[in-house]
Amino acid sequence: MALSGKIPRVVIAATGSGVGKTTATVALIGAMRARGLKVAAFKCGPDYLDPTYHERAAGVRSHNLDGWMMGRDAVVATFARASAGADIAVIEGMMGLFDSATPTGDDGSTAQIAKWLDAPVILVTDASGVARTIAAVAAGFARFDSAVRVAAMICNRVGGRGHLDLLRAVRPEVPIVGGLPATTDLAFPERHLGLLMADESNVPQRLIDEWSRLAAEWLDLNPIIEIARSTPDLEVGNVSSSNRINSSARPHCRIGVAYDAAFHFYYEDNLNRLRALGAELVNFSPIHDRELPEVDGLYLGGGYPEAFARELSSNGAMLSVIRSFAGRQGVIYAECGGLMYLTAAIRTLDGVQWPMAAIISGVAAMSNRLQAIGYVEVETRADSILGPAHTRFRGHQFRHSTLEGADSGGRIDTVYSVVPRWGGAPFAEGYRVGNVLASYVHAHWASNPAVAEALVGACVRSRVARQPAA
């Protein structure tokens, strides 16, 4: 399938983490939407939370673009599909512009995505306490990699109009297309994994609206739009069949997706792959629902089960039906928070143990300190619901809990061999009980589309096996 077209696009990158690129991205998207533009939104890297802010501002789903987990073909194909029909595409970077999965290259970086998409970069910098030094920042980023076009800068946390005028008077070689004033009363709420999910209960609409208003007032929107429109046609080329999404596929299985305040970490690309393979996805809430929908499999994603441990533990009806589903050889695939929910209990920071589904032995114990972060590569050591032994895929870990007391005991197998991207010895993980497979790894199936196919196939076989004989 050949894809190409004129897709105005711009990458909103940063000098480093914490300088306000998510705020600037949300503000810019909101201001463009207020102008009547249809905006497609994207997030570089593995982050699940920033895309929820994009969605609030743009009114459409935001898609992750991760160079290391997805590879070029899948990144470009995902971008082209999700940008179809949009007036402009806004891509938020991760960390600093050139930070990557390796200290010596750009694999997995925002810069890599900018190159693959031939997209100009607008650099967000924290300008508080800065004057002439802005010229050195601009020069360094503009000259570091000639294959990346740093087209403009947004100066965040400026002290006022006078400060912004001073920064422009320095005449940096990368032009300044506005700034955003320092403000604390509009800050987005955070917890230990970063920003809270941007639903209405956490992020009132007034915050999104106010940042959109500030962007319209403080940013030079016309030059920014012109920068985006200056991009050449994007030649996607021939997209391999593994990266095509055929929305006309007829459903032949139903998969329940846990989705509520406790579980909402999913890559949209993963969900789209399941749909393309004929799976009908049905959301349910482990917090509120007392029964499962009629499904052939369950997908329990990550999230904040520790923050809702009381509510999850109190819903004994849902815990019971999930245990029953597993006992009847129903397919359950769980990642991180989903794994925690399937354990015997979650122990919160106050020392209280909240009983959970008790399908996976052991206790998910929370810690004040980060327990794992970074990219990983997985190879399965045995056949599983994700495919035959030696199936490989890539993913990411970011967690504050550990699984204590999980032992095989002849009942639980570990079928993953996990290799950290930053080095270190492989370790066994991927806890399997019957047709249940749970792990701390957040997988991205663009790294191996056969995994999604295997999961759908397992759901179909499970349904057939559980049907009563005629």
Retrieve residue 73's tokens. 């073909």
Q: Are 128 and 159 in contact (CB under 8 A)?
A: yes
Retrieve residue 51's tokens. 């895309």
Distances (CA, A) of 311 to 256, 289, 308, 338, 401: 20, 11, 5, 15, 19
Distances (CA, A) of 354 to 317, 344, 404: 15, 8, 14
Q: Which of 152, 306, 174 is nearest to 226 (CA)?
A: 152
DSSP annotation string for 50-106: HHHHHHHHHSS-EEEE-HHHH-HHHHHHHHHHHHTT-SEEEEE--SSTT--SSTTS-
The 8-class DSSP code of residue 249 comes to P
Cα 115–chain centre separation: 21
Could you count the other beta carbons within 10 Å of the beta carbon of residue 260?
18
Give yes or no: 336 in active site: yes
3-state secondary structure of 242: helix
**Active-site residue, selected from the candidate residues 44, 155, 336, 459:** 336
The 8-class DSSP code of residue 308 comes to G
Q: Are 158 and 167 in contact (CB under 8 A)?
A: yes
Alpha-carbon distance of 127 to 143, in angstroms, equals: 20
The DSSP bridge partners found for residue 260 are none
Q: Are 286 and 341 in contact (CB under 8 A)?
A: yes
* Identity at 467, one-letter amino acid code: Q
The 8-class DSSP code of residue 163 comes to H
Alpha-carbon distance of 345 to 313, in angstroms, equals: 9
Q: Are 263 and 300 in contact (CB under 8 A)?
A: yes
Structure-token match 């999850």, residue found: 312
Active site residue ranges: 336
